[in-house]
Structure 1
Amino acid sequence: MAAISRSRRPLALAAAVAVALGAGALAVTSASAAEAPLKDYELTWGIKQSYRSYVTGMAAGSFTPADGATQAADNGAFTFAGGTGTYDSDTHAVRLGFAGSLKIASKLHGFDLTLSDVRFDSGAAEITADVTSGGTTQDDVPLADVTVTRTMTGMETKLTKEAATVLGSASYEGAAGDPLTVVQKTPPTQSPSPTGSPSSSTSPSPTASTSPKPTGSASSTASPSASQTTSPSASASETGAATQGDIADGTLGWGVKQSFRTYVVDGPAKGRITASGGATQASGNGDFTFTEATGTYDTDADTLKAAFKGAVNFKGHEANGSYGLDLTLSGLTVELDGGTGELTAYVESLGKTSDDVVLAHLTAGSSDLKAEDDVVSLDDVTAELTKAGAQAFGGFYTEGTVLDPVDLSVALSDDAQLPDGDGGSGDGSGTGGSGDSGTTSGTTGGGTTGSTTGGVTGALASTGSDVPTGALGAAAAVTVAAGAGVVLAVRRRRQA
């Protein structure tokens, strides 16, 4: 396979990779034998964690590995096995191609693509793959630049412009991808079909196969059954008294901010709120409930990290079929340590995405994590808007603004019973008022959609007593989506 003509790492780095491959590879000296065959490799890469959360969460889609490719449990990283290729003793480059394919699809968001023929080239320092979409296949699409290391484990990746096109968002260009690991499997574990070269039986055996697995590497959990039998949550469910392990389930109750919801549904935005992907909204334009928590806990150390399924979309300021406000929060994650922590989310506003935004600083009423009947519950956790959160709302809520409190319950075992939530019924779709009445038509499923044809009208002061004197956070999305003209119209109306 010809080397891909992209920027190459210094020769010293390539030589370090050669050391990792062992002395056998360096023993090849003749020009005709400059490339030594390699086999039995596997590549583990998750593309990007927030992208996986988006596909299975807000997009209600799926990943389907096939033909030898696998995915780690809990929507983890992907492993492509059966890797074969060559080591070039002149350039010290490792070039490998892997078996398996990965289908990524969402009917809700209208995408269906397949990655196959995944390749890694240490000389070009990149990952490529064939991409099939709409019946057309593009060969050798560069997906990520790789910071190649000697052991080829836990290597940093950076998504390319082409990857951003494949994944459907320009914001992915230059973003940090998941770490990449390329190792040789031991023949007893898996014996891929030989390449037919007699020398393959004496191909160099890299020392990388015996190096420790990097933290978080999914290659060590390629077999779901193995990961399940060693999961800390298993001991929790058996004994009912484990102090640390995996979270079995859980819910997060949060309203973002009451005045924001009022502004969207009853105020000038004349819009609607829609919960999806496992999230619901309480009736009467109430709080949101996010579900199916995953993560870890340690009640001795009083630490907890929990990620929740579900998304909530705020949409308003409709004009001629376009919306000035279209803001989605998904992939909510709570992390606590000794009673304080952070609330992060995936933020999307009219196609502009931001990954893992720290929206709020959290402060619980107690620093202790106490479990009762294998359930940890924290109520009325204070949430204060961060600088990054204020930017996500366009700066119209200031840093330090108190948001709605957070209620959290996580099950520490499969048998634990979570408390009943306040989630709304049906599809959780909030609707705007009709005309100038400014009344709420409800947020329960099956409600009729209110008028969304109104422009930027009405006084912001009518949306609630805790509305900021400048403009509500929803207007921030208007800034991003519709430009300064719309916001100027709001400001001029307020001055009038």
Structure 2
Amino acid sequence: MPVRRRRSTALAAAVATAAALGTAALATLGGATTASAAETPLSDYELTWGIKQSYRTYVGMFGTFTASDGASQAAGNGAFTFTEGTGTYDHTTNAVDLGFKGKLVSASAAHGFEVTFTDVRFDSAAGEITADVTTVDTSGAAPTKKGDDVPLATVAVTREMTDMATTLTTEAGEYLGSAGYAGAAGDPLTVVEKTPPATEPTTGPTTEPGEEPSTGPTTGPTDPEPTDPTDPTDPEPTDPQTTPGTKDPSPTASTSASPSAPATAAPAKGEIADGTLGWGVKESFRSYVVGNIAKGKVSVSGGATQAAGNGAFTFKDATGTYDTDAGKLTATFKGAVNFKGHESGGEYGLDLTLSNLKATLDGGTGKLSADVDSLGTQTKGVVLADLKAKTGDLTAAKNVITVDDVAATLTAAGSEAFGGFYPAGTALDTVDLSVALSDDAQLPDGDGTGTTGGTGGGAGGSAGGGTGTTGGTGSTIGGTGTTTGGSIGGGSLASTGSDLPGPALGAAAGVAVVVGAGAVYATRRRRIQAPSAE
């Protein structure tokens, strides 16, 4: 196992980890204490981490993420997962050290940077996550920066090793291009065993009937019956254990009944009684609109709501038809969302409204369309996205059909509606559908924190869902491509005083941002003046 550096925070993390683990893991190995048995090999672990949501939003606006070689990214520009984790569990220090497969490339041709992450590692004793990182200036203006085992974040290790708080390091700021990242909160980190042990070992401690011994750190017995605390082979610790978690392959479904569940099932096909559609359009677009470049606002009307923190939208009062046998669904929803930005003299260079949303599914695939009004010109029934559900089946539970996390991919017509900034094939936010098949069916609760007819964000507002301040220091629209905060030269993202890198837009990139905000700038006869720098 390679020697890892230990910073001052590492010692405290190691002590906390050792105290939390206690003695249970040692007991499962029959109290082995010899040097040869000090480490137990671990395999088939997964690590999920999003680095920082505002960083993903920034890259999603101006570039792309590419995950390969065992790495993947969640839909909607979500977190990254690295797989096939292998390493050791050290019984003398109660520490877990794991390395993962996967390659992640963050790149923007417009801003001339490409950052590659490989050999991602997690060390619970050090309380850190590291990776081999290479930053390339694709314009050739600066030398390539490469580092092995770069400490990207410190980790507040917990018992379950799920949703652990992270803090970005100075090195993360250097390689990601913004010194403002140093000390900033990163995304939560989760490390879990992908599958539990399949068979019992031939040697080891005696276990109670139904228990499954483990050769590594555990999250507790699998026997639903409580363990006898007097059993010397399985003592009950009084302190919580800090151990890698295990994904439950067969989570137990809730058996609680809805208090207003209908007495009789609806027919296999018919008309929809009601329904909701949840969709955020695209997180990076919402962030852009309310950020320091567009300095705009997001508002909803006609019964639509928006989740707090510039979140996703919910459209309601569905009408349409369904056929569960054929796997077909057509639903139209009330409500509208409007995006405004780039205000000058009381007029907006960006003024985009989506209304009358309609979703169709047939065997798991379908379309999402809307009436689009851009700068006062309306086009009805624009197919914005192709839909792909996880399954082609439409199953009604208590007379409600729910289809969540439907992948949405931008169409050519949708790309045109967004001014060509997002190319066709771009992943949009996922879509959640719930439709009632009878008047007495109870739909799932809405977002619960939304506002009706309200406004999300504002000039210099925060990006949705706690992503932090969005945008940079202002730019010259269609001008020289400079900012007051400095320029992106050689893949270096100029710091703007916030935790989000502030890009200096080149002439082409500047036009793309303005046009890509959802308004076709070429149709404007007046010149939009640059927002003043802050």
Equivalent position to 2:285, from 301, 306, 309:
309
SS of structure 2 residue aligned to 1:76: coil
The match for 1:141 is 150
Offset, 1:106: 1.1
Q: Give the match for residue 374 of structure 2.
A: 422
Q: 1:81 to 1:340 in 2, by over 3 A?
A: closer
Structure-2 residue corresponding to 1:276: none
Query: How far apart are 1:188 and its partner, in Å?
Result: 8.4
1: CA distance, partners of 2:30 / 2:96: 13
Letter in 1 for 2:168: L
Contact 1:163–1:172 under 8 Å retained in 2: yes
Task: Report the alpha carbon displacement of residue 417 of structure 1 after superposing the two structures with TM.
Answer: 3.1
Shift of 1:202: 7.5
Which residue identity does 1:4 align to in structure 2?
R
Paired position in structure 2 for 1:235? none
Change (3 A) 1:335 1:130: farther
- 2:179 & 2:51 partners in 1: Cα distance? 15
- 1:173 corresponds to 2:182: yes
Is it true that 1:40 corresponds to 2:44 in the alignment?
A: yes
Cα distance 1:83–1:210, how it changes in 2: closer, same or farther (>3 A)? farther
- Write the distance in 2 (CA, Å) between the matches of 1:209 and 1:407: 54
Q: Determine the structure 1 residue equivalent to 2:192.
A: 183
Superposed displacement of residue 329, structure 1: 4.8
In 1, Cα distance between equivalents of 2:289 and 2:369: 29
**One-letter identity of the residue aligned with 1:92:** N
> CA distance change for structure 1 residues 411 and 129 in 2, over 3 Å: closer, same or farther?
farther
* Shift in alpha-carbon separation, 1:246–1:341, aligned structure 2, 3 A: closer
Q: CA deviation at 1:128?
A: 0.6
| Residue deviations 1:312-346 (CA, integer Å, cap 9, x gap) | 589xxxxxxxxxxx93259988799x97766756x
CA contact (8 A) 1:156 1:178 kept: yes
RMSD: 5.1
Cα gap change, 1:310 to 1:19, in 2 (>3 Å)? same
Distance verdict in 2 for CA 1:371–1:83, change over 3 Å: same
1:202 and 1:153 mapped to 2: Cα distance?
A: 20
Matches within 5 A, 1:34-433: 34-56=38-60, 58-59=61-62, 61-134=63-136, 135-186=144-195, 203-204=215-216, 206-207=218-219, 241=272, 247=278, 293=281, 307=283, 309=285, 327-329=292-294, 344=309, 369-372=316-319, 374-379=331-336, 407=353, 409=355, 410-413=357-360, 414-422=366-374
Deviation at 1:120, TM superposition (A): 0.5
Letter in 1 for 2:110: L
The verdict on how the C-alpha distance between 1:13 and 1:311 changes in structure 2, with shifts beyond 3 A counting, is: closer
- Are the equivalent residues in 1 in contact too, given 2:85–2:98 (CA < 8 A)? yes
How many residues get paired? 313
Amino acid at match of 1:207: T
8 Å CA contact 2:163–2:189 kept in 1: the answer is yes
Shift of 1:105: 1.0
For residues 521 and 339 of structure 2, the distance between their equivalents in structure 1, rounded to whole angstroms, comes to 27
Q: Which has the higher contact order (CA 8 A, sep 6+)?
A: 2
**1:100–1:17 CA distance, 2 compared to 1 (3 A):** farther
Q: What's the offset of the Cα at 1:30? A: 1.2
Distance in 2, matches of 1:331 and 1:416, equals 25
Runs of at least 5 residues in structure 2 that lack an aligned partner in the other structure: 137-143, 199-212, 224-245, 250-268, 321-330, 344-349, 361-365, 378-415, 422-475, 480-518
Match of 1:4 in 2: 5
8 A Cα contact 1:42 1:185, kept in partner: yes
Secondary structure at the residue paired with 2:163?
coil
Higher helix proportion, which one?
1
Quote the Cα distance in structure 2 between the aligned partners of 1:184 and 1:128: 19
Does the CA-based 8 Å contact 2:277-2:315 persist in structure 1?
A: no
Which one of 522, 525, 531 corresponds to residue 445 of structure 1?
Answer: 522
Contact 1:26 1:89 in 2 (8 A): no
- Equivalent-residue separation in structure 2 for 1:110 and 1:332 (angstroms): 30
Deviation at 1:149, TM superposition (A): 0.5
**Separation (CA, whole Å) in 2 of partners of 1:427 and 1:420:** 15
| Partner AA of 2:70 in structure 1 | G
Counterpart-to-counterpart distance in 2, 1:420 and 1:130: 45
State how far apart, in whole Å, the 1-side matches of 2:83 and 2:315 are. 44
Give unpaired runs (5+ residues) of structure 1: 190-200, 212-218, 223-237, 251-292, 295-306, 315-325, 346-355, 384-392, 394-403, 433-441, 455-473, 481-496
CA distance in 1, matches of 2:71, 2:45: 12
AA aligned to 1:81 is T
SS where residue 206 of structure 1 aligns? coil
Q: TM-score, normalised by structure 1?
A: 0.50
